[in-house]
Structures are given as structure tokens and as C-alpha cells.
Structure 1
Amino acid sequence: MKTKLQAARIARGWSQVELMDALEDAAERLGIELPSRSSLKTQISMFENGRRAPGADYQALFSEVYQATRVELGLELETAPSQLDSLPSLPSPRLPTPKANPEILGYLKSVFVQHTQAEPLVGPRFLVPPVQSQVPLIEELCKEARGDVREDVLRVGARYAEFLGWLHQDTGDSREAMLWTNRALDYAFELGDPALSSYIFQRRSNIAAEAGQAGYAIGLAKAALRDDRKLPGEVRAVALRARANSEALLGQADDAARTFDEARSLAEAASVEPGSLAPYCSASYIDMEAANSALRFQRPEEAVRTLEASLTQWPAEQERDRGLCLARLATAYAQLEDVEAAYNAGAQAIAIAQSTGSARILAELGRVQDLLSRWSKLVEIAEFNRQLGTMKGS
């Protein structure tokens, strides 16, 4: 019987030689070392015949070349330690298990709202410990909760786990980010909530894209959009944004542009309700992401126009994302060799990166630093490099 892995190759009309070519290209992009061609051919045959399970590196490569998730390819997910291994113990095992009730759930929801409101302003570094400290309580509530109250507990658990995934992503820890986001998907699947599942799939796509796994990322984005007509406008918009980012990473400039346009239209028309999954997904936010795509395709003039306009409409409460927008604007100016404008935007982004501890802003500023290396003797650029070096600990 054909395995899903073999079926994926046959569906594309590839020979094993063509698959090996694609795997070698993907391995070069992802920094994965492959064995000799003869050994690789043997490995592929064993994987496709089900005689051996692919390891983590091969799983990432197959997801990349087939642009599909591990589940769609019939691959076992990489074994990860239980989240409970690193979580704090409950105060005393002799105490009775807490019961889910409106008061406890109200407390968890209230604290969650406070954390999400603080996060764009203070960044992830101060929030990971207090957010994670709530997880053991949620786990305990899940053990006993039944009926309607169980759905409420699962929803709270999904939001906390997804938020923890985001916090870890913004600190630059992709592994922890994906681990917690996968945990959130477990809760969402039990709930059977298509909007929540879609939102979490696009979050997984974002993590994969930032890790450079474009094929895996677009597979996850497509999963997020599988029931797109059932989704709220802002969730569909943010999922389209994830697909557009993946298309850009794959070099599909026209597809990415069309998808960004569709996402922007939905974001402009969306009526965001209290408790929305993606209240941040405004037209300005989509424009910032589209501008990043323009930078990838060496179109800095387009990026500058888009980012400058986006910054005039940026919500004050989204300070961390404003910092990322400024860092990308600095990159655009640096590509244009406008050193003064690049420094001005970059200096503002550094200040926000320092206050929020966002690794994503810092990574973008690293691109700016590389582009401005020819002007490193200028006083302003030397100061820019000094501040970046301090933040990187170098």
C-alpha cells in the first residue's frame, strides 16, 4: 500500500531523482546536511515504503519540498518534552483539585486581557513567567471539567497557550513557540472551533516562515484557509497575510501581491468585536507585511511609500509592531542608500527594541546594519552599531 509520502511524490509526477534534486535545494536553504546521492536514494525508498520513519530534519525537508504539513504527509511529529516537565509544581499535592467555576474562569480571562494589553508596550521578556505560571491551574481545571464549562476552560487554555507561543516567538525561540502553539491547537481541535483553529494554524505558519521553512509555512497557511468562508473577516485577513508571506518567501511575487491585496480589503472591511482573535490586523498592519515582501523583491521605493503611509495610521497601543515597521523602513532606506533616513528610522526602532526586548525588531535591525556597513565610520552609524552591539551582548 502506498504511503502518503510516496503518494505526494507520485501526485507531482516526480521520479525519485527529481525528488532528490528538490530535497538538495531545500537542504541548502534550510542549512541541513544530506548524505551522498546513493545513500539519500536508499533513505527515500525506506521512508516511502514505511520501513523507516524520517527524522526531524527529513520531516522538515519533505514539508518544504511538498509544501504540506507533516500530518498531511503522514509523518510523525517530532517528539517534544511535555510542557509539564518545565512548569512549576502546584503548591501542595494534598490540596483538592480546583474546580472550574465562573469566578476562577473570570479571573483567568481578566488576567489574560491585561497581559495582551501590556504585551505590545512592554514586549515578551517580562510576560513569559506570569503567563506560564497560569498554565498549571488551567491544566488542573481541564482534568475535571465537563460539559459546557469544559468548553470554557479549553478556550481559555487555547488562548493562553497560543499567547505563550507568540511571546516565545518574539524572543526568538522558534522551538518553544511552535511547541506552545501546537498545544493551543490541541485545545482548539477538541473545541471544534473553526475560527480558533484557523487562527492557530496561521500562527504556526508565521513561526515556520520566520524559521525559513517556506514550504511548510504555506502548507500551514492553506490549512488555516481551508474553511475560509466560515471565518470572521479579521481572521481570514490574517490567515491570508500568512499565505502571502509564504508566497513571497517562495519567490512568488505576483501571487503574494494578489494575496496581500485580498487581505487588505478584508482588514479594511472587518468589524472587530470585543474578544476578537486578531484585533491588530488593520490595513496598516497588512501594509507593513506587504512592504516587507517588497523589500524581499528589491523594491525599496515601494516599501518606503507603503511604510511611511502605514506609520501615519499606526495605533498608539501597538508600540512593538510600530518598532518593527520602523526597522523595516530603515531597511528600505538603507537599500536606497539614503543613510540619514535609514539612521533616523533605525534609531527610533532601536529605542522600541530596547524597551520591549523584541528579537524580531533586533533581527530586522541586523539587516540594516549590514546594509550600512560601508558608512560605519560616520558618527551616527558608529553609534547605531554600538547600540546594536550592546543589545546583542557583543
Structure 2
Amino acid sequence: MGTGLRNARTARGWSQERLVREIEQYARRHVTDVASTASLRVYVSEWENGKRNISDRYASILRQLLGITDSELRGDPSEVVLSTVDGYDELLSRIDSASNVSQSMVKAFNEQTELLRTMDRQLGASGLVDQMTGHLAALEDALNFAVLPSTRRPVALALAGASTLAAWQAIDAGAVERAWRHYELAKRAARDAEEPMYLAHAMAEQAYVLCEAGRPGLGLELVRDAQRTIGQGGSPRFRAWLYAAEAELCVHAGMPDDCHRALDAAAASIPPGAEDRDPDMLSIFLNDAHLARWRGNALALLGDDGAVNSLYGALEVMDPSFVRAQAGLHADLVQAHLARAEYDDANKHLRKARLLASRTGSVRQRRRIDLLSARL
């Protein structure tokens, strides 16, 4: 009963006492009442031991603090609950409603995805679980009852974009099974939309789940399959992004020469100039500065002295609104300075990385920072 809460709490490295403090801080920020400190300590213990059910009010608070869904919080098995369709009249009503999905509604769906993307990169994913779950449910419902391709394709495309964002947020929150399911949904939606770029994007990001699960070789195969999926198509910026992803996976697969070739291919493909967003794939942000960070990350993992210059160059021009990316960049600098036995510099960037990761509630960054900290 309480294993979901316990697992989410420990994944963040929080004690029960820390969770109690976080609940109290949440209550103060949102001007809402919660039980006393002593009572909350009892509640948390009883929730985790299955002696007390988590009320809906506390469940809402815990989901936002821990970045998990309701089923993950309560330890229920992941399942899809289907609504019962009461006869043909109800079915036809849903189909008619879906057929009336207009371009303005699709635009509203995409604007909601964009808002969630902006909030995610600045504040982190943990507080967005409920909003993202509801957003995906609305998109899936619209797609499930849309009949004709002219109606399905724009909705499917919106769902593909939202699902990959939800999947990356789940990776950041340490919910890898949820991330995998979201990527599978994104791939199905991209096929429905007949959009190879969106399919390739979901495949390449899904490769990171495999890499972090200890299968970088399999992840690398998936990235290269994504490259074959678009062939000579796709925008130049997106092709550069795929090469950079390939380079990172090559590092983890122990293939340094392939990593350098992929980085060179990325540099040759990326369009010149400061513009970083791909108009054909709005989730892609990549320019020379971002690529310098990616190169620095790869070189740092390889123990190459050239990593430090690339990373400091990227740090100077990084958009301050990309808070989680800043945490990753400082972690990269820790890695690079450790390779040069520059421990004072490594400690300085470790402190900054930990602070930024705490601001966004990133379990993924926290794990990496803990591993780096153990080497100091």
C-alpha cells in the first residue's frame, strides 16, 4: 500500500522528517492547512506502512512534491482504466465530438504543451505531474474517437509532442517505467500522424532510458535506427541533434572513435547562428553553444582535457531559464575537473549543481551528483 510513497521518497534521498518539512513548506506557500508536525510524522509513517490511507488532499500535495502519478504514489499496478461506453448513442456522441476538434482546439493543446515545457525547464517536472496527466488524457481521448485522417493527424501530432515531453519529465523524476510507456505512446502517435521526425525523436530519447538502465549498446542501436527512420529527411538542426545523441551513447557504449565522428557530423550539420529552436520540431533546442556543452559532456566522460574549454564556453552563453540544463552543465564541469585532479574547482561546481538540481527536484541529476560527490 505505502511502497509507492516510500520508493518515491527514497529516490529523492529524503528522510521521513524531510518529507514532513516539505509538506509544511508546501502548505505555507499555498496558504493551506495541514496537520501539526507531530501528526504529520505519524501520518507519513502510517502511510508508508499501509496503516493509513492517503486522503485525496494529501495525495495532491505528495504528487506535486515527489513528481509521481496517483497510481505510483499509492503503489497500485500501472493500468489503463477504460470508461464503459453505454450503447451506440454514447459512442456516436464521442465520435461526433471528436470530429469537431478544430484547428483552434489543436492550437490550444499545443499551447498547453508549450506552457508545460517552459515550466518544466525553469521549475522542474515534479510539480507538473497532475497537469501533464490530464493533458495527455484529453489528447488521447480526442484521438481515440477521431475517425478520419484529416482529424486524426493534427491531434496525433500534438499527442506525440506532449508525450515525449511527459516522458522526459518522467526520466527526470526517476519514473523510468512511466517514461518508457510515454515514449511508446509518442511513437504510436507519430506513426498515426505520419511524421517520421517525431517518431525518430521519440526513439532517440527513449534510448536514454536504455542507457541509464545499463544497456547503452542497445540504446545506441535505437538512436541509429532513428537516424535511418528519417534518412535524408528531417531538418538540419534535428539531424545534428541525432548525431549529438549518438555521440553521447557512444561514450557510454565504450566507443570513443565513433563518439568523435558523431560529434564532427553534428557540427557539420547544425545551421549557423544563435537561433536554437527548430521550427519543425519545437522540442529541439540546439545551436553551437548547446553543441559545445554536448561535446564537453562527451569529452569529460572520456577524460579528455579539451572538455573544460568547451564547457566553460557553453556556460558563458547558456540561457539562464534552462535551470535543469544548468545543473547538468555544472555536473559536467565537476566531471571534467575531476579528470584533471582539480578538486577545488570540482567542489565549486558540485555545490552549484546540487543547488540547481534541488530547485528543479531532479532525481536524475541528484543521482549523478551523488555519484560525482563520492569521488571527491
1:276 paired with 2:281, answer yes
1:178 paired with 2:180, answer yes
Letter in 2 for 1:115: L
- Cα distance, 1:133 vs structure 2: 0.9
Partner of 1:314: 318
TM-score by length of structure 1 reads 0.67
Q: Partners in 1 of 2:326 and 2:270 — Cα distance?
A: 18
- Cα distance, 1:172 vs structure 2: 1.8
Q: Partners in 2 of 1:151 and 1:121 — Cα distance?
A: 31
1:266 paired with 2:269, answer yes
Match of 1:364 among 334, 357, 368: 368
1:122 paired with 2:123, answer yes
TM-score by length of structure 2 reads 0.70
Partner of 1:355: 359
Q: Partners in 1 of 2:286 and 2:123 — Cα distance?
A: 19
Consecutive unaligned residues of structure 1, counting only runs of 5 or more, are: 1-80, 373-394
SS at match of 1:84: coil
Match of 1:325 among 313, 329, 334: 329
1:305 paired with 2:309, answer yes
Partner of 1:51: none
Letter in 1 for 2:332: R
Partner of 1:108: 109
**Alpha-carbon distance change, 83 to 183 in structure 1, aligned in 2, over 3 angstroms:** farther
**Count of residue pairs brought into register by the alignment:** 288
Q: Partners in 2 of 1:125 and 1:182 — Cα distance?
A: 21
Q: Partners in 2 of 1:366 and 1:214 — Cα distance?
A: 21
- Cα distance, 1:82 vs structure 2: 7.0
Q: Partners in 1 of 2:135 and 2:320 — Cα distance?
A: 28
Letter in 1 for 2:217: G
Q: Partners in 1 of 2:159 and 2:166 — Cα distance?
A: 11
Partner of 1:248: 251
1:208 paired with 2:210, answer yes
Q: CA RMSD of the aligned region, Å? A: 2.5
* Residue pairs, 1:1-394, within 5 angstroms: 84-85=80-81, 96-97=93-94, 98-99=97-98, 100-145=101-146, 146-226=148-228, 227-269=230-272, 272-274=277-279, 276-299=281-304, 301-372=305-376
Letter in 2 for 1:112: T
Q: Deviations over 1:72-98 (max 9, x none)?
A: xxxxxxxxx87634x9x79x9989534
Contact preservation (8 Å) 1:171, 1:358:
yes
Partner of 1:377: none
Contact preservation (8 Å) 1:205, 1:217:
yes
**Alpha-carbon distance change, 293 to 241 in structure 1, aligned in 2, over 3 angstroms:** same
Q: Deviations over 1:32-66 (max 9, x none)?
A: xxxxxxxxxxxxxxxxxxxxxxxxxxxxxxxxxxx
**Alpha-carbon distance change, 297 to 274 in structure 1, aligned in 2, over 3 angstroms:** closer
Q: Partners in 2 of 1:192 and 1:354 — Cα distance?
A: 39
SS at match of 1:230: coil
- Cα distance, 1:144 vs structure 2: 2.5
SS at match of 1:225: helix
Partner of 2:73: none
Q: Partners in 1 of 2:285 and 2:364 — Cα distance?
A: 17
- Cα distance, 1:311 vs structure 2: 0.6
Q: Deviations over 1:123-159 (max 9, x none)?
A: 1101222011122222221133223121111111111
Q: Partners in 1 of 2:133 and 2:263 — Cα distance?
A: 34
- Cα distance, 1:308 vs structure 2: 0.8
- Cα distance, 1:239 vs structure 2: 1.1
- Cα distance, 1:194 vs structure 2: 1.5
Q: Partners in 1 of 2:164 and 2:251 — Cα distance?
A: 25
Q: Percent identity?
A: 19
Letter in 2 for 1:367: L
- Cα distance, 1:273 vs structure 2: 4.6
- Cα distance, 1:225 vs structure 2: 0.7
Consecutive unaligned residues of structure 2, counting only runs of 5 or more, are: 1-76
Q: Partners in 1 of 2:132 and 2:349 — Cα distance?
A: 32
